[in-house]
Amino acid sequence: MSDPFDTSRVHAFSSRGSFAGVPARNLDDLGDAGVVVMGAPFDWGATYRAGARFGPRAIRESDYLGFDGYRPHLLTGIDALAVLNVVDAGDLVLPVGYIDECIDRIGEAVEAIARHGAVPIILGGDHSITWPNARAVAAVHGDIALIHFDAHADTGSTSPAGMLLGHGTPMRRLIESGAVAGRRFVQIGLRGYWPEPETVAWMDEQGMRTYLMNEIVERGMRAVVDDAVAYAAEGADAVFLSVDIDVVDPGMAPGTGTPEPGGITSRELLDTLRRLARELNVVGADVVEVSPPYDGPGEITAFLANRCVLEILNGMAERKLL
């Protein structure tokens, strides 16, 4: 059996160790894993600054704790890695530049994890990968809701660079393909100057629920998430969480490709992710758009993304133990 971290068969930017030191497993040997972490080192869907191909490696490596597969949460005492039987399938080998081929490979791998009965958590990579990620999870679980944290809606018919498949279009592809209904979308943290009003009108027609930063500031994150939970729980009994790290203010998460000032705090994101995973049936998640070449001093964005994964896992573990 080949080692998923065998550097002789992977890119120079691929990960060399597992997330938090959990067991490494090949996709055809997942055993009784409840959660499978997997990297998708892909950034050729980015329209501005690339670098997210280094994201999976940075998210795994940015941790000052031992790589011992043991992470008891200070608040709850729960070690989610054990409760959920978390394993790491390493990084997918994705041919640089071949977007369609990569989308197919990512979708096949995520679907294999979901069909195995495990929850895939995919480390990006630019946001293009949510198109195959959520499509694959929906193929297994049916009518899913998608809760999407982002500065940007990612609903362009084409990306600003004119690409049909890219990090500005995954939510459009999911809705147009029928994989995830527009009325099942909850978007949190949008701000800035994109997309243009025609696309916002299209989003409204689809029934997408969007929470702009001004509403989060006025009502508070807790009230907004109350709404999001109620909305997502209406009808759909399974949820995919998509976390674009640029939802966080670039002052706290500078390592990303398209920074938009004025975002939520890292504290708000961490608390919200754990709460959502505790209150909703999360069947898949991704953490995307970490671009280490642009990260601030001390790898602060990668450290945050690492903790985003852990907080999702902790919420899931709390839910399992209820």
Task: By CB under 5 A, name the binding residues for Mn ion.
Answer: 127, 150, 154, 244
Token pair 């065998």: residue? 6
Gap between the Cα atoms of 106 and 99, Å rounded: 10
CB of 83 to Mn ion, least distance (A): 30
Query: Which residue(s) pair with 147 in the sheet?
Result: 186, 241
CB of 184 to Mn ion, least distance (A): 18
Q: Are 20 and 81 in contact (CB under 8 A)?
A: yes
Structure tokens at 59: 């998210």
Cβ proximity to Mn ion: between 260 and 299 the closer is: 260
Our CA angle for 243, 112, 117, nearest 5°, is 80
Q: What size, in residues, is the chain?
A: 322
Q: What is the largest CA-CA distance in the chain?
A: 55
Give me the phi and psi of 190, to 5 degrees please: -65, 150
Structure tokens at 144: 């899913």
CB of 244 to Mn ion, least distance (A): 4
CB of 167 to Mn ion, least distance (A): 6
CB of 247 to Mn ion, least distance (A): 8
CB of 171 to Mn ion, least distance (A): 8
Give me the phi and psi of 202, to 5 degrees please: -60, -40
Our CA angle for 23, 29, 33, nearest 5°, is 55
Cβ proximity to Mn ion: between 109 and 288 the closer is: 288
Cβ proximity to Mn ion: between 64 and 193 the closer is: 193
CB of 190 to Mn ion, least distance (A): 10
Cβ proximity to Mn ion: between 244 and 279 the closer is: 244
Cβ proximity to Mn ion: between 82 and 212 the closer is: 212
DSSP sequence for 191-238: -SS-S-HHHHHHHHHHT-EEEEHHHHHHH-HHHHHHHHHHHHHSS--E
Q: Cα–Cα distances in Å, from 26 out to 31, 55, 89? A: 10, 20, 5
Gap between the Cα atoms of 298 and 291, Å rounded: 14
Structure tokens at 242: 């998509």
Cβ proximity to Mn ion: between 150 and 286 the closer is: 150
Gap between the Cα atoms of 269 and 115, Å rounded: 29
CB of 293 to Mn ion, least distance (A): 18
Gap between the Cα atoms of 302 and 206, Å rounded: 34
Cβ proximity to Mn ion: between 18 and 130 the closer is: 130
Cβ proximity to Mn ion: between 154 and 318 the closer is: 154
